């Protein structure tokens, strides 16, 4: 009975480590792709489109127009985000766009790098656990059973 329990434990650990490695490999691939194009990664979404300045400009002006139509905000409510008004120049919008874009790229790169390193370490750890338990199972199975 004790032999069966230790055998089940060994195979369960090996099975779980294989599943962990497969999931981590997918996360490593996702992080590597995010590092190649961080502005299009899902983690860089900040609300506005940052892939194209012209689209950003249209969205910023539309948002400013909507905010102007909503009327003044009460003094006790702080504005959620400082947005350019409808009269903002292209140069001002370009400066805001570049700042938001750099922030989004930096954040996406940080998250992708963190995910890449964490998942690579998880793959290494799972691989080591798998190797240790697999060798233990093989040695255990090779021993003559005491009947």
Number of neighbours of residue 35 by Cβ within 10 angstroms? 16
pTM above 0.75, yes or no: no
pLDDT at 79: 53
Distance (Å, whole) CA 65 – CA 54: 17
pLDDT at 43: 58
112 within 8 A of 41, measured Cβ to Cβ: yes
Which is nearest to 95 in space by CA: 107, 84, 106, 80?
84
Instruction: Specify burial of residue 24 (Cβ count, 10 A radius: 0-12, 13-18, 19+).
Output: buried
pLDDT at 15: 97
| Residue 127, both tokens | 């691989």
Instruction: Specify burial of residue 77 (Cβ count, 10 A radius: 0-12, 13-18, 19+).
Output: exposed
Q: What is the DSSP letter of 86?
A: T
pLDDT of residue 147 exceeding 50, the answer is no
Q: How confident is the model at residue 127 (pLDDT cuts 50, 70, 90)?
A: very high
């Amino acid at each position: 009975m004790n032999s069966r329990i230790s055998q089940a434990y060994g195979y369960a650990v090996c099975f779980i480590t294989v599943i962990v490695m497969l999931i981590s490999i997918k996360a490593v691939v996702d992080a590597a792709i995010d590092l190649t194009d961080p502005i299009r990664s899902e983690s860089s979404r900040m609300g506005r489109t940052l892939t194209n300045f012209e689209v950003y400009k249209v969205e910023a002006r539309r948002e400013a127009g909507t905010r102007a139509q909503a009327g003044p905000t009460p003094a006790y409510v702080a504005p959620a985000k400082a947005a350019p008004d409808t009269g903002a120049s292209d140069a001002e919008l370009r400066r805001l766009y570049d700042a938001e874009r750099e922030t989004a790229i930096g954040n996406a790169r940080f998250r992708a790098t963190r995910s890449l390193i964490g998942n690579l370490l998880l793959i290494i750890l799972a691989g080591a656990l798998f190797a240790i338990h697999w060798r233990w199972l093989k040695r255990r199975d090779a021993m003559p059973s005491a009947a």
